[in-house]
Amino acid sequence: MPANNLKEIKDNYDKQYANITKKIIICAGTGCVSSGSMKVFEAFKTELAKRNLNVCLKISEGCREIYLSKSGCQGFCQQGPLLSIGDTFYTKVKDTDVVELIEKSVLKDEVVERLLYKNPADGKQYKTTAEIPFYKKQTRFLLQDCGRINPEDINEYISNGGYESARKAIAEMSDAEICNFMLDAGLKGRGGAGFPTGKKWDLTRQSKGHKKYVICNADEGDPGAFMDRSIMEGNPHSVVEGMIIAAKAIGADEGYIYVRMEYPLAVTRIKTAVREAREIGILGKGIFGTKYNFDINIMEGAGAFVCGEETALIASVEGARGMPRPKPPFPAVSGLFGKPTVINNVETLANIGKIMAVGAQEFRKMGTKNAPGTKTFALTGHVANTGLVEVPFGTTLREIVNEIAGGTTGEDGSPDQEAFKAVQIGGPSGGCLTKEHLDMPIEYDTLKAAGAMVGSGGLVVMNKTTCMPSIAKFFMGFTQNESCGKCVSCREGTKQMLSMLTDITEGKADDKTMHTLEDLANVVKVSSLCGLGKSAPQPVLSTLRYFRNEYNEHIQNKNCPAGACKALAKYTIDPAKCVGCTACKRACPVGAITGEVKKPHAVDKAKCIKCGACMKACKFNAISVGG
Amino acid sequence: MSVEKLSDVIAILNEYDNNPSKLIPILQKVQHKYNYLPEDAMTFVANSLGIPPAKVFGVATFFSHFSITPKGKHIIKICDGTACHVKKSEGIINAVQNKLGLNAQKHTTDDFNFTLECVSCLGACGIAPVVVIDEEVHPQMTPEKVTALIDEVAKKEAQNAGK
Amino acid sequence: MTANTENKGFVYVEGKKVAIENEKNLLEVIRKAQIELPTFCYHSELSVYGACRLCLVDIEGMGIQASCSIAPKDGMKVTVHNSQIREMRKTNIELLLAAGHHNCTTCVKTGMCKLQDIAKKLGIKEVRFKQNTEVKERNTSSHALVRDPEKCVLCGDCIRMCSEVQGIGVIDFVNRGSKTEVLPAFGKNLDDVECINCGQCVRICPTGALTSKSEVSHIWQDIWNPGKKVAVQVAPAVRVALGEMYGLKEGENTTGLIVTALRMLGFDYVYDTSYSADLTIFEEVNEFIGRFEKGEKLPLFTSCCPGWIKHAEHCYPELLENVSSCKSPQQMLASAIKESFVQEGGKREDISVVSVMPCTAKKFEAKRPEFSKDGDFDVSNVLTTMELARMIDEKGIKFLELEPSAFDMPFGFKTGAGIIFGAAGGVTEAVVRFVLGKVAPEADYKPITKVLHESKSLKEMEVDLGGGKKVRIAAVNGLKNAQNLIADIKSGKKQYDFVEIMACPNGCVGGAGQPAITGRENMKQRSEGLYSIDDQVQLHKSQDNHYIAELYKNLVGEVGGKKAHEMFHTHYHSRQRIKLKPEEAKGKTNINVCFGSSCVANGAKKLYQETRQLVKEKGVDAKVHMTPSFCYEKCTRGPVVKINDAIIEKADAKKVAAELDKQVKK
């Protein structure tokens, strides 16, 4: 089928789809696959076949009755494997549930209630995703098709209106028109800094040169972020479409997708998407039946967080160590192989086709004036519902944490609103926010002012068992490990900050350590070469800003209020509970526990090495560890 | 360098037209073949691409996926990303290290059956903490579950060895 | 409007108006305004790296920026020093001090180390950060260079110098983050990789992380050994640079002072390498004329530069037969000194020859096994210009106060031609003077040549020998430039009869043994210094050095004769990167495909796979044992395939198929 007739593809698809009476969608995102969704898929295949039912796995000539489809990530990973039969949405489905599901839900339109989603907060059950609070409060503009369409079938993407924007851009719009449209829409880069996409394109468009490149930055390295992975797994064609439009806007004929190797499924899906697009003339020479050429190479990253930085990414595509170089020159002027290059992240690119389809004005209705549109967040940590969510800019943290995520959870995993302590936004470049920020509308500028950043959108909720200096240490450990080692400030600065944070959490620090740490953080923030180094001190600075008392507790009283720092832990035996069984005394490897049989025992704090063996040995809950 | 190895490396180089900018995918393929980057293969790659061996070595030691020493037969990846970390992935790492007699410096068991890698994020945060054994993702792990998984792999390994 | 025109072409550095000329970056403009911003990683001859974070400035509207990576713009207002910048510089220096073990008192670089200098200027009295406890070992395995990773600030200057200027890239960064190190490939020793010992990395290293390997202690021992005579020879380039160690300008001639100082140090004979430079001209021109008349093995490449020689052995094995077989002047003179000593009844091992060189590669050259006899090296030890200064200082000699004196004869006599060897293009000019002097003995020594092209790194000339004979000559300096020239020669784009190659930019005056105090030494002045000595001496053509005529008469015999070959010529061998020993299987047809670099360049890899295919197609798999191998040293006639004993040159699939049929039938 020639790509210049998308309508024909759509009509043909719709015609065949009309014969389908039941659609079963099984989530085939990384989360659900690891929970066993492929076993469920296979069970469906076998059981449906046993019943001599007509099943098709891909919409094609002669399809009828049942369409058994795999989808990309539906976002609600924690509840996986996810499955929908018609409108009914099932969670935590096992292969052993399949027979019952077929008998009741597929053949008779009955609902298998025990597999419906049950809200942990109030125990209420919901039948469709539209009703579930997790989905209900979201605005799924970008993720609309993610988890609904089959990511490995280009026809399904096209039949949902896909590639129409790309066709229009290639066949009907000039490069300047596309850039102007993007400026009107006001889309800002979703990869971190929030640079206006239209402006970036326009700068690259105006750079002189016959050869230009579009790069899709899919090196999503932030620990605790998986938005880009989900998009690539769930709707890879939306990324390809965005790249085609970007290519036309700047005059590029070659593109690269730089994707993390840790995402094997995303790699496969994106490779399939590129192959499919090439087969029907959406990529390659003379795309959409025009004279325009554009093709995409896929490169798998080899494991370096710093390659999310655009100049480091370029170095790595060129076959070198992924070390950033000073800017200017910006990639818009001199990028890949010295040619003008646009680098956009996955989420930015996935937005483009959609925005063109709805129009700039419609897009601007979502979000705020400064930040139109929606943002996806990877919602994780101590909350009832974890997963991938999409909300308009301007949404408050409270709405996300309490309504979508179903509230904070306590130590045992059950809902506990009081347990809320902090939200970490923006990964190792971001910062920790507190209760007082819960009603702040989320946007590039507000977050920056509060000492965090949108970053790529990792959002980790932390409860009271989390120690903030330890969290700062965790991120510093990450950055220090991922520092490329080029500039002095970042290479040595992160190492020294990590060492000081370690001292603080181990009770080896004094007031001078705090001063030096803060001074150093402020130097590294300004004097580092690239964004990674410049933002590396953020977790320290933001926790110092909002949780200074907790640092002081560690330093002055050698006490960890969250009880998380092992070196500061104080094991005590409650004489009221201790029965004198001597189990702890026998378990202690250093003989720090004394006491006579059948009399309360005690821990000698000077000898104690805080291994916790006593606590494990005690059968009477008499030993507690406190800060 | 053996004939087979040379043939393999030549085939990989040809696949990428001996293009020096494709150094990383070339090394990825070589590593995929040998599960590490042998020195002679790296030297041959450098010669063929017309770049200094020092540069190839520099690239090989920069990226965390490349290994210049042989890895074990089974790769255990433990995610220590933020989401997994706040859900106590550290305990899982300790459990695996204890189980296999490994530590922060030693990543591969003496019998070359297992290599432990701590990775910063596998993007499966919704089902944290996560462990990946030989490409298979295991969700919501605990120290007990992960040691059981390792036992299973080791058992199979022993059975195969017995045959 | 007025403000704009007023600012056009200017920036404001600390309120002072400074014109933007051709500066690529703000740092250069600031330095022009006589403010020496500290840097480790910025060098005008290398690419901008932006890693040391010391050249930070505050630009109005842009905030703190590294001035090396900012292009100067009209009207820019720049502050180079304020409280924030000071704090950042101090912090960055403290971080570096905490990261390594600098041990200044025992470091050879002390007093010339940038880290020490900047720390001193910033008044750092205390390091707030924890000292790194890991200690990385010093590597002294190379004959010429010492690496001390503890003193490395990872500015990458050495790496960029080695790859960008010298075109070799033997060292690179290894690992990342705080584990980053600068190492040769696979962490090997420098002697085991393609390092040519040129030491340009040493010259540019801001700290003591890369230094030349000092042999000073051995030399003292020889001097104090009563049973030993010690001769010393001084290379031309040394005399116009040593003064810099004592505050003199680049290019100032200190020949007389050096001779006096060397005698005071205790050397028995003080000779001049310029003498053997003249001698080299005799042998090399003779060799060249022979080839030129026959039209074979051209162009002839010079062989004075040990860096270039080692590079040719690594990377151009196919060109080795084009390289002059003449030893370098250092080795020729040592041969002459030792031979004469023996002729006069002395024992070879009772005299040792020390040379003072502008060069670190000479240390390696002196240790080449072919330049020794029964373990006794012709040149026992090599001193760099800077190491000589250290010996002078150690003995407490007040160099500038000395009375000049003259070299010992006969090996202290030279013509101007021998002096200018130290400047880039000098060897070529000496050759031309010699050749034209033969054609027209009465003509001015300043040669009349047609200069076709001249740049800083390359000079191309044509010399008319009369009778329609024209010699095409090129002189190139800087190894990367030499590589480019060789590529042009190989592709046929350029044709020459004689090519002078000097590995170091600017030739020997720019060698790594020369003083590198500021890192921005004026090499042009040093070269001019040599030419002004040439102006001052009486004779200018090597053939006018009558002491050389005497040497041939009394000791050597004929120019280019048997004895001359023994004493003054040498041979080269290729140094392969990949060692592939051909494996043989008994009772089978053995096929070896050469994988030497030039065979690979000529398509050995493709041929290897074709041959494998061929073996399969012919169904002789079981009878054939096929291995890659290295190297049949037929580099000009590759790819080479050996089937049993038959060697196929310029092999292709057809030739291999035919030979295979023949051999399998046997």
In degrees and rounded to multiples of 5, residue A196 shows phi and psi of: -60, 125
Is the CB of C170 less than 8 angstroms away from the CB of B54? yes
Domains of chain C: 2-81 (3.10.20.740), 89-212 (3.30.70.20), 216-568 (3.40.50.1780), 589-665 (3.40.30.10)
Which stretch, A55-64, A324-333, C599-608, has highest mean pLDDT?
Answer: A324-333
The reply to whether residue A224 touches residue B135, judged by beta carbons under 8 angstroms, is: no
pLDDT tops 90 at residue A351: yes
Residue of B nearest to A464 (CA): B86
Do B24 and B80 belong together in one domain? Answer: no
A337 CB near a chain B CB, below 8 Å?
A: yes
Q: Does some domain include residue A144?
A: no
Inside any domain, residue B50: yes
Tell me whether B8 touches chain C (CB under 8 Å): no
- CATH code of the domain containing B121: 3.40.30.10
Residue B101 covered by a domain: yes
pLDDT band at C450 (very low <50, low <70, confident <90, very high): confident
Question: How many inter-chain contacts (A to B, CB under 8 Å) are there?
Answer: 143
Same domain, B87 and B116: yes
A259 found inside a domain = yes
The last residue of a domain, from among A445, A466, A487: A466
Q: Are residues B7 and B83 in the same domain?
A: no
For C1-55, what is each residue's pLDDT tens digit? 445 677 888 999 999 999 999 898 999 999 999 999 999 999 988 999 999 999 9
Query: Which chain C residues have a beta carbon less than 8 Å from that of B39?
Result: 186
**Position A91 in a domain:** yes
- A502 and C CB contact within 8 Å: no
What band does C580 get if pLDDT is binned at 50, 70 and 90?
A: low
Mean pLDDT in residue range C552-562: 94
- Pick A302's closest partner by Cβ from B20, B28, B124: B28
Alpha-carbon distance of C240 to C419, in angstroms, equals: 11
| Residue A73 covered by a domain | yes
How much is the pLDDT for A5?
Answer: 82
pLDDT at C128 > cutoff 70: yes
Residue with tokens 């010429």: C144
Q: Are residues B47 and B80 in the same domain?
A: no
Q: Would residue A260 count as lying in a domain?
A: yes
Q: How far is residue A493's CA from residue C177's CA, in Å, rounded to a whole number?
A: 11
Look at residues A323, A342, A362 and tell me which one is the last residue of a structural domain: A362
Is the model's pLDDT at A257 over the cut of 90?
Answer: yes
- Is B10 an 8 Å CB contact of chain C? yes
The answer to whether residues A19 and A63 touch, using CB atoms and an 8 Å cutoff, is yes
Domain count along chain B: 2
Residue A527: both structure tokens together: 């004097």
Active site residues of C: 284, 287, 304, 324, 362, 365, 370, 508
More confident residue, C632 or B128: B128
A123 and A64: one domain?
A: yes
Q: Which two tokens stand for residue C309?
A: 């020689």
Within this chain, do residues B106 and B147 fall inside the same structural domain, yes or no?
Answer: yes
Q: Are strands A602-603 and A20-27 parallel, antiparallel or unpaired?
A: unpaired
The answer to whether the Cβ–Cβ distance between C53 and A325 falls below 8 Å is: no
- Which one, of B3, A436, A535, lies nearest residue C583 by Cα? B3
Residues A283 and A207 in one domain: yes
Number of structural domains (chain A) is: 5
Residue B109 lies in a domain: yes
pLDDT tens digits along A517-541: 999 999 999 999 999 999 999 999 9
pLDDT tens digits for range A174-191: 999 999 999 999 999 988
Boundary of a domain, candidates B34, B62, B90 = B62
**What's the ipTM?**
0.90
* pLDDT tens figures, C263-301: 999 999 999 999 999 999 999 999 999 999 999 999 999
In this complex, do C172 and B51 lie within 8 Å of one another by their Cβ atoms?
A: no
Whether B68 maps to a domain, the answer reads: no
Whether the predicted pLDDT of A627 surpasses 70: no
Based on the domain organization, do B79 and B158 belong to the same domain? yes
DSSP state of A294: B
Mean pLDDT of chain A: 91
- B155 and B81 part of one domain: yes
Listed by number, the residues of chain A in 322-341 with a beta carbon closer than 8 Å to a beta carbon of chain C are: 323, 325-328
Average pLDDT estimate for A292-305:
94
| pLDDT tens-digit map of B28-87 | 999 999 989 999 899 989 988 989 999 999 999 999 999 999 998 999 999 888 788 878
Is C107 at the interface with chain A, CB within 8 A? Answer: no
Better-scored residue on pLDDT, C518 or A211: A211
Residue B29's CATH number: 1.10.10
B93 with B35, same domain: the answer is: no
Whether A456 has a pLDDT exceeding 90, the answer reads: no
Q: Are residues A22 and A120 in the same domain?
A: yes
| Same domain as A202, residue A341 | yes
Confidence of residue A441 (pLDDT cuts 50, 70, 90): very high
Helices (H), C83-148: 83-99, 114-121
Mark whether A425 and A536 lie in a shared domain: no
Mean local confidence (pLDDT), A459-473: 91
Do A224 and B82 count as a contact with CB atoms less than 8 A apart? yes
Same domain assignment for residues A357 and A420: no
CA neighbor of C287 nearest in space, from C569, C664, C581, C593 = C569
Strand partners, A86: none
Predicted confidence at residue C1, as pLDDT, reads 42
pLDDT for B103-115, tens place per residue? 888 899 998 999 9
**Quick check: is A140 in a domain?**
no
Pick from A425-434, C139-148, C187-196, C399-408: least confident: A425-434
**Cβ neighbours of residue C528 closer than 8 Å, sequence gap 6 or more:** C251
Residue B47 within a domain: yes
Q: Answer yes or no: is A209 within a domain.
A: yes
pLDDT digits (tens, 9 = 90+) for C67-96: 999 999 999 999 999 999 999 999 999 999
Position A445 in a domain = yes
Residue B69 lies in a domain: no
Query: Are A462 and A474 in a shared domain?
Result: no
The shortest C-alpha distance from A423 to chain C (Å) reads 28
From residue A349, how far is each of A241, C574, C581 by CA, in Å?
8, 54, 53
Residue of B nearest to C627 (CA): B3
Tell whether A393 and A276 lie within a shared domain: no
* Whether residues B20 and B52 fall in one domain: yes
Do B92 and B148 fall into the same domain? yes
Residues A548 and A429 in one domain: no
Residue A89 DSSP SS3: strand
Determine the Cα angle at C580 with ends C576 and C585, to 5°.
155
Across the interface, which of B1, B54, B62 has its CB nearest the CB of C169? B54
User: Exposure of B3 by Cβ count < 10 A (0-12 exposed, 13-18 middle, 19+ buried)?
Assistant: middle
From A533, which residue of chain C is nearest by alpha-carbon distance?
A: C177
CATH of the domain at A607: 3.30.70.20
Q: A607 is in which domain, residue-wise?
A: 569-626
What pLDDT sits at residue A1?
43
Which range among A78-92, A461-475, B65-79, C217-231 has the greatest average pLDDT? C217-231
Q: How confident is the model at residue B163 (pLDDT cuts 50, 70, 90)?
A: low
Compute the nearest-CA separation of A371 from chain C (Å): 24
CB contact under 8 A, A34 and B124: yes
- Are A117 and A177 members of one domain? no
Residue A480, CA distances (Å) to A176, A351, A608 in order: 42, 33, 31
- Tell whether the model's pLDDT for residue C448 goes beyond 90: no
Q: Cα(A284)–Cα(A291) distance, rounded to whole angstroms?
A: 10
Q: Categorise residue B18: left if φ over 0, alpha if ψ from -120 to 50, beta otherwise.
A: left
Q: In this structure, are A290 and A397 located in the same domain?
A: no
Q: What is the pTM of this model?
A: 0.91
Chain B residues in contact with C592 by the CB 8 A cut-off are: none
CATH of residue A481's domain is 1.20.1440.230
User: Do B40 and B83 lie in a common domain?
Assistant: no
Residues A386 and A503 in one domain: no
CA distance linking residue A511 with residue A503, whole number of Å: 12
Q: Domain check: are B95 and B152 in the same one?
A: yes
Full domain range(s) for residue B128: 74-162
What SS3 string covers C458-494? EEEEEEEEECCEEEEEEEEECHHHHHHHHHHHHHCCC
The band of A224, judged by pLDDT with boundaries at 50, 70 and 90, is confident
Number of CB pairs < 8 Å for B and C? 73
